[in-house]
A = this chain, B = another copy of it.
Amino acid sequence: MYMIQKPTVLLDEVKCRNNIRAMAEKARRNNVIFRPHFKTHQSHEIGSWFRDEGVECITTSSISMAHYFAGDGWTDITVAFPANVLEIDKINELAKSITLNLVVESKDTVIALSKALTEPINLLVKLDIGYHRTGVAPDHVEEIAGIMDEIDRCALTTLRGFLGHAGHSYAAENVDEIARIHVESIDLMNQVKTYFTKRYADLLITVGDTPTCSVMEDFTEVDEIRPGNFVFYDLTQRQIGSCTLEQITIAVACPVVAIHADRNEIIIYGGGVHFSKELLNHPKHGTIFGLVAEDDGERWGALVEDVYLARISQEHGTVHAPSAYLDKIQIGDIVKILPVHSCMTADLHSVYLTTDGTEISRITH
> Which residues of chain A have a CB within 8 Å of any CB of chain B?
4-6, 39, 61-64, 81-87, 90, 105-106, 108-109, 112, 132-134, 167, 255, 257-260, 263, 267, 269, 272-273, 276-279, 311, 313-316, 318, 330-332, 334, 343-344, 347-350, 364-365
Alpha-carbon separation in the docked complex, A106 to B276 (Å): 28
Q: Is the CB of B315 within 8 A of A81?
A: yes
- Minimum distance in angstroms from A8 CB to a CB of chain B: 11
Q: Is the CB of B343 within 8 A of A314?
A: yes
Alpha-carbon separation in the docked complex, A103 to B81 (Å): 45
Task: Known pairs A84-B255, A134-B258; list 11 more (Cβ under 8 Å).
Answer: A5-B87, A39-B315, A82-B258, A84-B257, A84-B269, A108-B330, A276-B276, A314-B343, A314-B344, A364-B364, A364-B365
Determine the chain B residues whose CB is within 8 A of the CB of A279 once the complex forms. Answer: 277
- Minimum distance in angstroms from A230 CB to a CB of chain B: 15
Q: Is the CB of B332 within 8 A of A6?
A: no
Determine the chain B residues whose CB is within 8 A of the CB of A350 once the complex forms. Answer: 364-365
Question: Could you say how many copies of this chain the assembly holds?
Answer: 2
Determine the chain B residues whose CB is within 8 A of the CB of A314 once the complex forms. Answer: 39, 61, 343-344, 347
Alpha-carbon separation in the docked complex, A334 to B106 (Å): 18
- With A86-B5, A349-B365 known as contacts, the answer to whether A316 contacts B267 (CB < 8 A) is no
**Closest residue to A40 on the B side, CB-wise?**
B314
- With A87-B6, A255-B86, A272-B278 known as contacts, the answer to whether A316 contacts B133 (CB < 8 A) is yes
Q: Is the CB of B133 within 8 A of A318?
A: yes
The contact sample of 5 A-B pairs, CB cut-off 8 A, is A83-B257, A84-B269, A86-B334, A108-B331, A133-B313
Determine the chain B residues whose CB is within 8 A of the CB of A311 once the complex forms. Answer: 133
**Closest residue to A258 on the B side, CB-wise?**
B82
Alpha-carbon separation in the docked complex, A313 to B108 (Å): 24
Alpha-carbon separation in the docked complex, A52 to B14 (Å): 53
Determine the chain B residues whose CB is within 8 A of the CB of A315 once the complex forms. Answer: 39, 61-62, 81
Determine the chain B residues whose CB is within 8 A of the CB of A64 once the complex forms. Answer: 6
Q: Is the CB of B81 within 8 A of A332?
A: no
Within 8 Å by CB of A348, from B82, B90, B132, B365, lies B365
- Minimum distance in angstroms from A92 CB to a CB of chain B: 13
Q: Is the CB of B272 within 8 A of A344?
A: yes
Determine the chain B residues whose CB is within 8 A of the CB of A318 once the complex forms. Answer: 133
- Minimum distance in angstroms from A319 CB to a CB of chain B: 12
Q: Is the CB of A273 within 8 A of B316?
A: no
Q: Is the CB of B331 within 8 A of A106?
A: yes
Q: Kindly name the residue among A83, A109, A313, A318 whose own CB sees the greatest number of chain B CB atoms within 10 A.
A: A313
- Minimum distance in angstroms from A19 CB to a CB of chain B: 19
Within 8 Å by CB of A86, from B4, B81, B278, lies B4
- Minimum distance in angstroms from A331 CB to a CB of chain B: 5
Q: Is the CB of A331 within 8 A of B109?
A: yes
Alpha-carbon separation in the docked complex, A216 to B84 (Å): 45
Alpha-carbon separation in the docked complex, A318 to B133 (Å): 7
